Structure 1
């Protein structure tokens, strides 16, 4: 290419019309995993074409590119991190005929608000060559690291559901006789958690397995439901106790009536004087003890133990949950 030395090369370059690119050789660049490529226009194409004094050509164009990010796994959602590759290569020239290289810049200040934090870096060496059916091709591109922000989920999901689980423990301090208060509290919490689970699940990305957020919801629902089962056991135990006390009172009343009849008959026939320090006193005392006997109330014992057992279960689940997914985030970080 011959340059016109009489032109003004003080800036080291001369701008010409962008459509003149058609008069020069241009590489057959393809974008891997491309969905849509658009070049916005106002009056003309938003592009620039420069001829530089070192005989190189510089062509730039404003474009909107949509690509597919393959192999995204959402098992750790919403603590997931993904790697998305933006790759350029030649369609017909092998790596021995054409080498692609370049540089990029990324301004965080101009980035619109997203649910991810974004980092960009050069492709790893093993990704800079694409193996085709007939030859290898030079590849240039960038690797985009997407790390989802966890704070919005902490405020909208994790914290409220944890508070609902803690609120269910209030039922352990409500007397078992106040049935309506405990039933209404536990059923309301259980229904609210199920409703939140169904609403949140509609926005969860499609995954091949259960996600971390679904595990959290299921555990919270299970703990509240377990509290409801605990109260059902208390009601069953209390009903058995009341039934047993009623039967003992009925038997006691029947025995007293029988003793009165026997005493009346003995007075009519014969009176037997009682000796002091006889075994009758002991038998009377034993009857009094049997009359005062009541079945043990296990409801208070079960509530007292549940006040420590359920918080311990929830604490153990939190340690396992956050520890496991934190380790996974470190191990699977791209």
Structure 2
């Protein structure tokens, strides 16, 4: 009993399928005149090129792969053209201007169809559940409107000179594969390219926008027909950089500022100043290494590379400055005296003036003059470092942020 029901259902399904094919074939015989040639394009007005009207709706952006430099988008691709050779029976419309036909109509009826393609496409998949998502609409005047859903993997050259403040532009160019301008023309249908309002929510790291050009003709010297019909548009992905500001720029800036504290600590606090500067330097280098692993590779200098180079240089120079201070201390010790502070220098100068007033010759021992000389250089270097290092980093920021933002 179950087997009989299964066979009955199977034969019923086959009957429906055959009925659909017969209906489509019958409709095709009504549409096509006896002299119809599907290999020859239809004629436009005044026997000119046939115009193909194209529109697209970007339903979603599934992936933006920066390493592979590609974008995966889900689009509704629609194109329409008029074939005046078709014989369209009035009784098919029942008072309407158009009738809707199944996706397989073009396979059952041997019609001429245009040959648009998208340049720089890696892969195209037809979206389907049971049957491919698509359909055809036939109008009374012989116009055919074809709509289908595709998942397109589009190649997109990306450049990261301004990373993480970069903006990537992916070009979407529709063209005829073989027909030249003398045979076919392209034009936008309605709004041309539109995008779903939910795309910004899908792209957490980017701000999305698109732009369509008014140009409908392109030229390639090596192309068989020279000028060929095409439509151009571009999608723009502007990176959202707030997470980089909070997770990269602010911490690295704080470590640079912390390294400045060594300029205000006594020079004889060797362990404290050394540990502070080395820790800040290693932390910034470690942070930079982590950023390198998360960012797209590039063999050129990016904005974030310049930032980290400036931060590493700022902390490294502070460490070199302290090395010079320690060397000046050694020179003072070589003169036979401990560190001479600016206050001690003033007291020595006052004592020297008092001796000269009392009738001395005013001359100081050579060792004392040498100690005073190196102590003055140390004091001036500390004061100069406090001003120069801070000012240099602020000037760098004043140039960096307006340049990239």
Q: Note whether the superposition's TM-score is higher than 0.5.
A: yes
Quote the Cα distance in structure 2 between the aligned partners of 1:53 and 1:192: 73
| 5+ long unaligned stretches in structure 1 | 248-278, 327-334
Q: 1:139 to 1:292 in 2, by over 3 A?
A: closer
Q: Does 1:213 align with 2:304?
A: yes
Please list every run of at least 4 consecutive aligned residues from structure 1 whose deviation after the TM superposition is greater than 4 angstroms.
8-11, 289-294
The alignment's TM-score, normalised by the length of structure 2, stands at 0.66
Q: Unpaired runs of 5+ in structure 2?
A: 1-85, 339-355
Correspondence for 1:331? none
Pair 1:242–1:52, CA change in 2 (3 A): same
Structure 1 residue 149: Cα displacement: 1.9
**Cα displacement string for residues 26-76 of structure 1 (whole angstroms, at most 9, x for unaligned residues):** 112221011010112211111122112342111111110011123x33222
Are the aligned partners of 1:201 and 1:214 in contact in 2 as well (CA < 8 Å)?
no
Is 1:181 aligned with 2:272? yes
What is the alpha-carbon distance in structure 2 between the residues aligned to residue 134 and residue 78 of structure 1? 42
1:47 lines up with 2:134 in the alignment: yes
**TM (normalized to structure 1)?**
0.79
Structure 1 residue 124 displacement after superposition: 5.4
One of 245, 250, 264 as aligned partner of 2:336:
245
CA contact (8 A) 2:335 2:367 kept: no
Does structure 2 retain, via aligned residues, the 8 Å contact 1:35–1:66? yes
Matched pairs, number: 290
Q: After superposition, where does 1:11-160 map in structure 2 within 5 Å?
A: 12-22=97-107, 23=109, 24-70=111-157, 72-102=158-188, 103-111=192-200, 112-123=202-213, 125=215, 128-131=217-220, 132-135=222-225, 136-160=227-251
- Once the two structures are TM-superposed, the CA of residue 291 in structure 1 deviates from its matched residue by 11
Deviations 1:198-234 (A, max 9, x none): 2212333333421111011111100000000011111
Contact 1:37–1:65 (Cα < 8 Å) also in 2: yes
Q: What residue number does 2:383 align with?
A: 304
1:219-238 correspondence runs (5 A): 219-238=310-329
Greater percentage in helix = 1
Supply the distance in 2 between the matched residues of 1:239 and 1:61 (Cα, whole angstroms): 81
- Larger proportion of strand: 2
**Cα distance, 1:137–1:80 mapped onto 2, change above 3 Å:** same
From the superposition, tell whether residues 76 and 39 of structure 1 become closer, same or farther in structure 2 (CA, over 3 Å): same
Larger Rg: 1
Give the aligned CA root-mean-square deviation in angstroms. 2.6
